[in-house]
Structure 1
Amino acid sequence: MFFVLSKILGFFLHPSNTIAMICLAGALLLLTRWRRAGARVLGVGVVLLLVAGYSPLGSVLLLTLSERFPPWQFNGRAPDGIIVLGGAIDSEVSAARSSLEIDSSAERVVAALELARQYPQARIIYSGGSGNLIANSVAEAPIAGELLARFGVAPDRVVLESKSRTTAENASFTRELVSPKPGEVWLLVTSAFHMPRSIEAFRAVEFDVQAYPVDWRTRGWRDAALPFDRLSSGLARMDVAVHEWAGLLAYRLGGKGAARRPSP
């Protein structure tokens, strides 16, 4: 039920969808006797569209998440395991085309391959089922497993978790699979903006992991002062940022995240 509700609410938590609904409501009101109210609603929608699409607000919201965990630094202790969260592979298109299709978070897969080569004794855990509510569900982890094998990662090093649909399930199902021992070092690979919610989810199930952020999307705080040159680019970043902030808040309120603000 939590999963279905989160997906339904998630539609309206994307600013681009909300703005579109506001504009649609204003346009429909123009066809009624409430034309003046419709014009005002439509005007509000247009203003929101311009602010969300061209202003750096989306970058600011994203940076407040992505800058919380710095790049991982090797401290002399090789990791015992590397956990890679799904979201880098378009599993439905990959299955339909019988060809690997990477999406905008492809850095997660690249990091997995690099870390597997650098630390040949580490176990590789790829956690990713299907988070689609309507489309045909095709788990991501098996496709990632084929990719790892194609690049020479020994199958006995790889554990595939393909049931999870959310970040909270990534954490709980992965912990059940690997049963981490005290003192072990586990790296968590995911997008930088997704790392705060991911760390909270893993700490909530008492799995102590070290953040290995990738897929930064910005060059740093200097982007907070730069407007976008395309409406679609600004809207896309705003959608990602607001969706992630909403997910972080929902996890805290729903008890699926840590009680305190996560930090390195």
Structure 2
Amino acid sequence: MFFYISKIGYFFIQPSNFLIAVALLGLTLKMLGKWPVTGILLVWLAVAGLAVCGLSPAANWLILPLEERYPRPVEIEAVDGIIVLGGAVDTVVTGGRGDTALTTSGERITIAARLAGLVPDALVIHTGGKGVIVQSQATEAEGAARLFEDFGISPGRVILEDVSRNTWQNAVLTKELVDPQPGQTWLLVTSAYHMPRAMGVFAETGWTGVTAYPVDYRTRGSEDRGLGFSGASKGLRRFDLAFREWLGLIVYRITGRIPVLFPGPEIQKTQQD
């Protein structure tokens, strides 16, 4: 139920959708002749909001703190497993075309080829089922399995969790499947902007020995803080993405799925202590 509520609810509060709805409401009020001044004001507010979110650096202001929260390890030492979170496979297109199609977060899964070579004894775990509300789609595990085979990763090293539909289920179901033991070490691979929530969830489940390996960066770093966008669609896409992640942090904190509002490396130190 939480999955469906989150998907449907976010559709209506997603900034780009919300601003369009405000503009339509304003036009409706103007056309009906009821509160015309209010209607025009709403239209202008919506247009201004779309311009700010789509063309200004606002999207980068939102996403940079998320991406900078966890640094990528300089060196990869021996680890017991590499956990790749879902989100890289377009399950709808994959189901329709019969071959793996990747989303804009494709680096989450393609990086597995490099990491599997760096730590040849580690398990490679992909966790992700169906993340959208559409029929006749494949699971992310199906798409991941094809790519892992193409990468030359031995099937004996691969574990596929194909039921989870959100980050909380990723951690809970994968922990049940893998049964991690004290003293083991794990790499967690997901998009940099998603890493704070992901690490917080794994910490909340009691999974220790997890090291963040962020990928799929959308910015170069602090130098993009003042950088705007050449097209409103680009900025709106990034603004929606960052807004969704901040909202996810708030909801997960309220529902007790992460230990603090903005998880950082300190939560791993607390676990170790």
**TM-score, normalization by structure 2:** 0.93
RMSD: 1.3
Structure 2's unaligned 5+ residue stretches are 266-273
| Pairing of 1:177-192 with structure 2 (within 5 A) | 177-192=177-192
Q: Could you tell me how far 1:138 is from its partner in structure 2?
A: 2.5
* Residue aligning to 2:139: 139
Whole-Å separation in 2 of the counterparts to 1:86 and 1:10: 19
Conserved in 1, the CA contact under 8 Å of 2:85 and 2:126? Answer: yes
Whole-Å separation in 2 of the counterparts to 1:139 and 1:99: 12
Aligned residues: percent identity? 44
- The secondary structure found in structure 1 opposite 2:184 is coil
For 1:245, give the aligned amino acid: W
Q: Does 1:56 align with 2:62?
A: no
1:118/1:144 CA distance change after superposition, 3 Å? same
* Residue aligning to 1:101: 101
| Pairing of 1:122-201 with structure 2 (within 5 A) | 122-201=122-201
For 1:16, give the aligned amino acid: S
For 2:109, give the aligned amino acid: V
Q: Could you tell me how far 1:15 is from its partner in structure 2?
A: 0.8
For 2:25, give the aligned amino acid: A
Q: Could you tell me how far 1:17 is from its partner in structure 2?
A: 0.7
| Pairing of 1:65-76 with structure 2 (within 5 A) | 65-74=66-75
For 2:43, give the aligned amino acid: L
Structure 1's unaligned 5+ residue stretches are none
Whole-Å separation in 1 of the counterparts to 2:141 and 2:40: 49
* Residue aligning to 1:114: 114
Conserved in 2, the CA contact under 8 Å of 1:54 and 1:227? Answer: yes
Q: Could you tell me how far 1:146 is from its partner in structure 2?
A: 1.7
Whole-Å separation in 2 of the counterparts to 1:49 and 1:92: 29
* Residue aligning to 1:88: 88
Whole-Å separation in 2 of the counterparts to 1:46 and 1:260: 32
Whole-Å separation in 2 of the counterparts to 1:185 and 1:86: 20
Cα-to-partner distance string for 1:19-43 (whole Å, 9 max, x where unaligned): 1111111111111122221111111
Conserved in 2, the CA contact under 8 Å of 1:13 and 1:246? Answer: no
Conserved in 2, the CA contact under 8 Å of 1:13 and 1:243? Answer: no
The list of structure 1 runs, each at least 4 consecutive aligned residues, that deviate by more than 4 angstroms after superposition, is: none
1:74/1:254 CA distance change after superposition, 3 Å? same
Q: Could you tell me how far 1:225 is from its partner in structure 2?
A: 0.5
Conserved in 2, the CA contact under 8 Å of 1:13 and 1:242? Answer: no
Q: Does 1:41 align with 2:42?
A: yes
Whole-Å separation in 2 of the counterparts to 1:63 and 1:91: 28
Counting matched residue pairs gives 263
Cα-to-partner distance string for 1:113-157 (whole Å, 9 max, x where unaligned): 111111110000000111112444421012101210122111110
For 1:151, give the aligned amino acid: F
- The secondary structure found in structure 2 opposite 1:187 is strand
Q: Does 1:243 align with 2:244?
A: yes
